[in-house]
Amino acid sequence: MGRRLQRSTRFRTGRRLICAVLSFLLVMGLGAVPSASAEVNNPRQEWLRAATAGLFLHWGMFTAPRHLDCAQWERDVTGGGWTPDYWVDEARKLGASYIVLATFHSRLGYARPWPSDIPGSCRTERDFLGELVKAGNAKNVKIILYMTDDPQWHSELGKQTLDSAAYSAYKGQQVDLTTRRGFGMFSYDLFFEVMQRYEGLAGFWIDNDNEYWEENKLYEQIRERRPSWLLSNNNEDTPIMDTVSNEQKTGMTPAYDYPQAAWTPMPRLVEADYKLPTTGDWWYDGGDHAVDFRLSTGRYITNAGSSMKSLMAETPMVNGKFPPGQESFNNFMAGWVPPIRESLYGTEGGGYMYGGMQPGFWNDGAHGVVTVKPGGRTQYVHVVTKPTTDMVRLRDNGYWITRVTDIRTGKRLNFNQSGGYLTILGVTDWDTYDTVFKVDTLGQQLYYDQSTVSATASSSKPGFPAENLADGNFETNWDSNAQLPVSVTLDLKQRKPATYLAVNQREWSPTYARVSFGRPEDSARIKDYRVSVSDDGVRWRQVRAGAMPSARGTQFIDIGEQQARYIKLDVLNTWSGPQAPRFFNELQIDEIKVAHGFPLYPWAQVPLEAERASHNGGLDVCQACSGTLQVKGGVTFRDVTVPTAGDYRLELNTTSAEATSVAVRVNDAPPINVAIPADRPDVPIPTAIPVSLRAGSNTVAISGKAGIDRIAVAPLPPASYVPTTTMTVNPHGIQWLGPDQRSVQVTADLRLDVDSPIQTVKLAPVVPAGWTLQGDPATTQTLRLGQILSGTWALTSNQAVAPSTIPVTASFQVLGRAKQVTTNVQVRPRPADRIFMREAEDSRNKFGSTGLTSCGPCSGGEKVRNIGGATDAFVQFDNVPAAAAGQYTLFVDYTVNGPRSYFISVNGGPPVELALDGQGNNTPYTATIPITLKAGDNSIKLFNDRLGAPDLDRISIG
């Protein structure tokens, strides 16, 4: 774990899961169309589908205190009191149904905790693995064995841990275990030894592929010999594997929402593989590292709410015991999970292919997920981050609600259902980590049956036709064939009422831009869209336009009260950028449903609805509004109550077909003018402002032309809150300027990624002393979801360039608070002995499928990773200038662990191999090679189509 990811032939040829898969019905002989891709459903997977979690144990010779002698390590394990039942019992406390044992691990000494007959690395006399399998099966905890293909850490501690001579003698041929092929042969033999000895094992967890395994059909032989065993592959979707494991994803908002970084759609079995100790190594390093209860429980719940299995890594000591912090967490989980067990076991993630209400961000800062029982009639709302008010409001996805119960307390709660939302009212018993409401329903209502709807599209990828959008099957999807903009038209067969669309996009990408194991990733979800309706399919009338959040689960587009036969969704773009070519301009959708109304349960009142306040205007029916009514004209709310005086967030839910404004007067304060954007007169949208309220009762009066649905009052978000934005600044990477260069052209884009507008936005560089700026700041009064503010400037040094850091800063207001985000442009004078120097991560380069990653010792703190192993895994430097044609010296700065090669092509010429070696992927080295350049601009490409190449820091020419 936590090491360089190697590409494989299997990954290159099967990197995209093609649609359908061998279904359970086919396996049981009941008939289905066989798939050419992965076995997504198979009876051997049933136990894991029913599981919620697993326990990942990294434990071996290099567990602290590190051992360099295998026999001494074994003596210390036994002498310390190791027992398999301890691990099994601790796993059960976590609600884990299986244990993955990682001892034959590249960073733990390649130890084998069984008396292997095959020499080559540490092997024990005591059969720890056999004992663990027996103990686990006795208590219904499956055991899976970790296997690695990586020999590069064979002498990490200065002692050789792989014995090539002994293995060569055993095989009767010379084998170098420190090479990938030699190690592949060795580990290949181990797979068969384990299969022969341990019938009760549940499978293998494989940390990336090895070409020797693939050439010799290892996985196919495992399937033949042990058809009930599972195969899991780390960070790849390899079709023959049962499970895709996603390793240690971070950077989400909120931090616990692990599924935001996942990229494999249901019903593929997916693990979220993460450490419970928040610091330290994957194995015990001698420290009692803390477990973040909030982060860990949040991951546990949100994974369950996305049908992902939580594979939690703990760090056993040499004697097998866990450090006190981890034991404490296990004991906590043993008491915390059972009261909500029914919401986690025998359920699937809600809001996806199994039905259910919408997960994600809810009202007043609340965030959570939904789990559903088969059929969707019983659902569980998991409030992981509680709101700042006493109610929870989430999209109901057409489910007609009959009862809501807090499953920890058994208390029934009042609720309201209208306008497409369920509002659970009067909540006072909040759990610290997850408040769970059991929601009983009559099932999904007021959607047209998919059999009565047909779909067409302006572009479809062969094999993924638009008909899949309305076939009721989430395992078949439509693909736009990399065409954007693109139109999807739904035919209701006759003129019918329609109120909203429910869009289930394929969950095959993360929700935000990131780099994962050197691969650039981004959200391939809809951003800007338009919806139009027609009676004849020729004359169209636009009824809604906007931006859709980049979020998992069902997304909704309210279109007001329409009567039409045809509904057309124009997708103008997606959230993905060109830095992630696999996702850029790609669009896949599972299903689009058309609703013709909203379930209604109005008996419990939602606070502060306009129709229940004093008003001097008329009431209008508004199906999409809370309570199905809105007020056109002035409204006065006379009992807006807060416990303490202070500043609060006031949300206005208004409707308007034209851009307008309303005046908001709080008590006797001067009125506040609030801009209301143009949208629909029958679909409310939220706008929030800061207001000062006194303790107790307050009066809020609203006047203007907009329709008023309701208001909501909540505390302001924490002072540290900054809405999620994406700021892209070019050029990226250190800019090395020669003696005759003093200027840098800078462009910047600021995109708002959340559905909460920011105001008074300004974007501009802040030049240091000695520099001048040409170009005005980019400004806008309001920036909304998905909108982009762009600027371009010329920065010029008034003298010879000195090392400079130039911040590009976006400043804005959030509910009256000043905030800013900054990205720096680094400028350095080019060394005198170089005619050219450019960082590998520079935005002017072409990257193919490679990606950027941090590297502290590298120039600029970054490098390009994942070069090689595929034809599209390269870095190309264009516009490399040369004053005259001739031979030059190319300097290549790189990091590598073990022998690898680049192939270098200049101006498309024949490639020349540059063979390199080194120790440590965080140790930069420099190599040179002669190249021939032409006068003018040149192109230099570094690649390796067949095998992995070193990571690249920068190149320069002397």
At 353-377, the pLDDT tens digits run 999 999 999 999 999 999 999 999 9
Using an 8 Å Cβ cutoff, are 808 and 748 in contact?
Answer: yes
Assess whether pLDDT exceeds 70 at residue 31.
no
* Tokens encoding 558: 């309210």
Q: Strands 360-361, 415-418: parallel, antiparallel or unpaired by DSSP?
A: unpaired
Using an 8 Å Cβ cutoff, are 780 and 789 in contact?
Answer: yes
Distance CA 444, CA 598 (A): 10
Distance CA 613, CA 634 (A): 10
Check residue 12 and give its pLDDT.
33
Q: Which of 377, 374, 382 is nearest to 406 (CA)?
A: 382
Give mean pLDDT, residues 705-730. 95
Distance CA 156, CA 313 (A): 23
pTM, two decimal places: 0.92
Check residue 29 and give its pLDDT.
29
Using an 8 Å Cβ cutoff, are 863 and 896 in contact?
Answer: no
Q: Which of 524, 457, 465, 464 is nearest to 491 (CA)?
A: 457
Q: Which of 438, 387, 360, 380 is nearest to 607 (CA)?
A: 387
Query: Which DSSP letter does residue 15 get?
Result: -
Of the listed ranges 33-47, 49-63, 615-629, 928-942, the one predicted with least confidence: 33-47
Assess whether pLDDT exceeds 70 at residue 13.
no
Q: Which of 240, 267, 300 is nearest to 96 (CA)?
A: 300
Assess whether pLDDT exceeds 60 at residue 5.
no
* Tokens encoding 833: 């002995």
Q: Which residues contact 198 (CB under 8 A, 6 or more apart)?
A: 114, 129, 130, 133, 145
Using an 8 Å Cβ cutoff, are 946 and 869 in contact?
Answer: yes
The predicted-structure confidence for 636-666, as pLDDT tens digits, reads as follows: 999 999 999 999 999 999 999 999 999 999 9
SS3 335: helix
Distance CA 90, CA 322 (A): 9
Helix axes 324-336, 84-93, angle to 10 degrees: 50
Q: Which of 127, 138, 75, 64 is nearest to 101 (CA)?
A: 127
The predicted-structure confidence for 229-282, as pLDDT tens digits, reads as follows: 999 988 888 899 999 999 999 999 999 999 999 999 999 999 999 999 999 999
Confidence of residue 9 (pLDDT cuts 50, 70, 90): very low
Check residue 236 and give its pLDDT.
83
Check residue 517 and give its pLDDT.
76
46 phi-psi bin (left φ>0, alpha ψ -120 to 50, beta other): alpha
Which sign does the torsion angle of CA 198, 203, 205, 209 carry? positive
- Give the CA count within 13 Å in the CB-facing half-sphere of 307: 27
Distance CA 744, CA 735 (A): 8
Confidence of residue 208 (pLDDT cuts 50, 70, 90): confident
Helix axes 293-304, 324-336, angle to 10 degrees: 50
Assess whether pLDDT exceeds 70 at residue 588.
yes
Instruction: Give the chain's length.
Output: 958
Q: How far is CA 278 from CA 288, 294, 315, 579, in A?
A: 11, 11, 11, 30
Using an 8 Å Cβ cutoff, are 741 and 801 in contact?
Answer: yes
Distance CA 732, CA 227 (A): 50
Q: Strands 886-895, 925-933: parallel, antiparallel or unpaired by DSSP?
A: antiparallel
Assess whether pLDDT exceeds 50 at residue 419.
yes
Helix axes 164-171, 180-197, angle to 10 degrees: 60
Q: How far is CA 385 from CA 255, 298, 405, 777, in A?
A: 11, 9, 18, 38
3-state secondary structure 169-182: HHHCCCCCCCCHHH
CB atoms within 10 A of CB 634: 17
Using an 8 Å Cβ cutoff, are 601 and 537 in contact?
Answer: no
| Composition of the chain by helix, strand, coil, percent to 5 | 15, 40, 45
Assess whether pLDDT exceeds 70 at residue 226.
yes
Using an 8 Å Cβ cutoff, are 717 and 807 in contact?
Answer: no
The predicted-structure confidence for 65-112, as pLDDT tens digits, reads as follows: 999 999 999 999 999 999 999 999 999 999 999 999 999 999 999 999
Q: Strands 685-693, 614-615: parallel, antiparallel or unpaired by DSSP?
A: unpaired
Which sign does the torsion angle of CA 857, 862, 868, 869 carry? positive
Segments of 832-885 assigned E as strands: 836-839, 851-854, 862-865, 875-882
CB atoms within 10 A of CB 798: 9
Check residue 937 and give its pLDDT.
97
Check residue 37 and give its pLDDT.
67
CB atoms within 10 A of CB 476: 18
Q: Give how far the C-alpha of residue 378 lies from the chain's centroid of Cα atoms, to the nearest Å.
A: 27
CA angle 619, 621, 624 (to 5 degrees): 125
Check residue 25 and give its pLDDT.
29
In the chain the domains, ranked by start, together with CATH numbers, are 9-16+52-336 (3.20.20.80), 348-444 (2.60.40.1180), 450-595 (2.60.120.260), 611-715 (2.60.120.260), 717-830 (2.60.40.10), 831-958 (2.60.120.260)
Which sign does the torsion angle of CA 484, 449, 369, 366 carry? positive
Distance CA 497, CA 565 (A): 9
Distance CA 549, CA 785 (A): 7
Check residue 280 and give its pLDDT.
95
Confidence of residue 944 (pLDDT cuts 50, 70, 90): very high
Distance CA 878, CA 268 (A): 41
Distance CA 459, CA 878 (A): 33
Burial class (CB in 10 A: 0-12, 13-18, 19+), 140: exposed
Q: Amino acid identity of 565?
A: R
Confidence of residue 20 (pLDDT cuts 50, 70, 90): very low
Give mean pLDDT, residues 291-314. 98
Q: Which of 450, 456, 448, 449 is nearest to 478 (CA)?
A: 456
Report the chain's mean pLDDT, rounded to a whole number. Answer: 93
Distance CA 764, CA 792 (A): 8
Check residue 897 and give its pLDDT.
80
Confidence of residue 1 (pLDDT cuts 50, 70, 90): low
Give mean pLDDT, residues 724-735. 95
Check residue 38 and give its pLDDT.
80
The predicted-structure confidence for 460-479, as pLDDT tens digits, reads as follows: 999 999 999 999 999 999 99
3-state secondary structure 633-688: CCEEEEEEEECCCEEEEEEEEEECCCCEEEEEEECCCCCEEEEECCCECCECEEEE
Q: How far is CA 917 from CA 178, 204, 258, 926, in A?
A: 13, 31, 36, 11
Distance CA 555, CA 109 (A): 48
The predicted-structure confidence for 774-810, as pLDDT tens digits, reads as follows: 999 999 999 999 999 999 999 999 999 999 999 999 9
Check residue 610 and give its pLDDT.
96
Confidence of residue 35 (pLDDT cuts 50, 70, 90): very low
More confident of the two residues 743 and 11: 743
For residue 479, what are the β-bridge partners?
588
Q: Amino acid identity of 827?
A: V
Which sign does the torsion angle of CA 826, 829, 831, 833 carry? positive
Burial class (CB in 10 A: 0-12, 13-18, 19+), 884: exposed
The predicted-structure confidence for 478-537, as pLDDT tens digits, reads as follows: 999 999 999 999 999 999 999 999 999 999 999 999 888 778 899 999 999 999 999 999
Distance CA 523, CA 576 (A): 5
Distance CA 502, CA 917 (A): 54
